[in-house]
Amino acid sequence: MASQDWFDKDFYKVLGVSKDVSAADLKKTYRKLARTYHPDSNPGDAAAEARFKEISEAYTVLNDPEQRKEYDAVRAMGSGARFTAPGGGGAGNGGFEDVFGGMFGGGSRGQQYSYQQSGFEDILGGMFGGGGGGRTAGFGSPSGGFRGFGGPTKGRDVTASTTVDFVTATQGDTVSLQTSEGRTIKVKIPAGVSDGQKIRLRGKGQPSPDGGEAGDIVLTVSVRKHPVFERDGLNLRVTVPVTFVEATLGATIEVPTLGGEPVKLRVAPGTPSGRVLRVKGKGVTTSKGTGDLLAVVQVAVPSHLSAEALEALNTFAKVGPQENPRVDLIARARG
């Protein structure tokens, strides 16, 4: 639907292009200007936002062949053309019917048009076929745009999911995914991605319906469990069994690492189950830092004893500490 502003606004000048600019060059110029003045690139800059609206309005009209033709015809009549409400002047006063009569084959005394409260846009709506809720030209048109600013619309985002193994999620890797359309895309899984985390793949979604940028793929990553290690933020946690003798007398033990050689840890005499031994720098490495390996001690109780070992243990029970380790637990439970 044409706008009265078309008389005064030089959309070619707004975009800095010639009147015979091709559609391809028009789009290229608009995208460059849109990137420069987009509100996301100029937060809080009212002047940049106003400029962005201006270039978006110009592109919306010139990018549509029909609207561009109408715009050129209106502009050809001269920027001084105006209309007046019925009864505002005689035949020689340049009324609305005189301005548009020649364009549509009507005489200067032909069909009369009245200016209603609905405004100039509604009067022109029927003339240009834009009435009745159809497509409108100009700023904020339903044809799409950057958050209501006009211009090409971004393609639709697509949701997808994939499952990776624990090592891939921890150390990162590039994997291949098959889209519903049969396309194969390469996806870089960043080191340290967690179970259920979403990754946005820019420009890998649905194409734009009107030449804008493609949508994104929002990928949800599921991580398979590891038989030994668990994630604790950037740390890796592993449960390490030790014998009763090792826990009581102390020992040096080997602890596995993810994808590397085991490391040696010193278990102090009298170490109880649940104590955490820390190995610096053996956790998950990401751009945010490197975690540690947390070895959780678990005292292993033998299920079978030889007669000699059983006799020795009974002797120890007689000569060892006679304390009850549950006394404090029961007392705290009572209150």
Return the pLDDT at 48: 87
Q: Which residue spans within the chain are E strands per DSSP?
A: 158-164, 173-178, 184-189, 198-201, 217-223, 229-232, 235-243, 251-255, 263-267, 276-279, 285-286, 289-290, 293-300
pTM, entire model: 0.52
Return the pLDDT at 221: 94
Return the pLDDT at 333: 94
Return the pLDDT at 321: 84
Return the H-helix or E-strand segment holding 178. Answer: strand 173-178
**Domains, the chain, ordered by start:** 4-128 (1.10.287.110), 158-223 (2.60.260.20), 229-334 (2.60.260.20)
Residue in 167, 150, 5 with CA at minimum distance from that of residue 75: 5
Residue partners of 258: CB distance under 8 A and separation at least 6:
167, 170, 226, 229, 236, 282
Return the pLDDT at 170: 93
Q: What angle do CA 109, 110, 113 make, to 5 degrees?
A: 100
Task: Give pLDDT < 50 ranges for the chain.
Answer: 1, 79-148
Return the pLDDT at 238: 97
Return the pLDDT at 183: 80
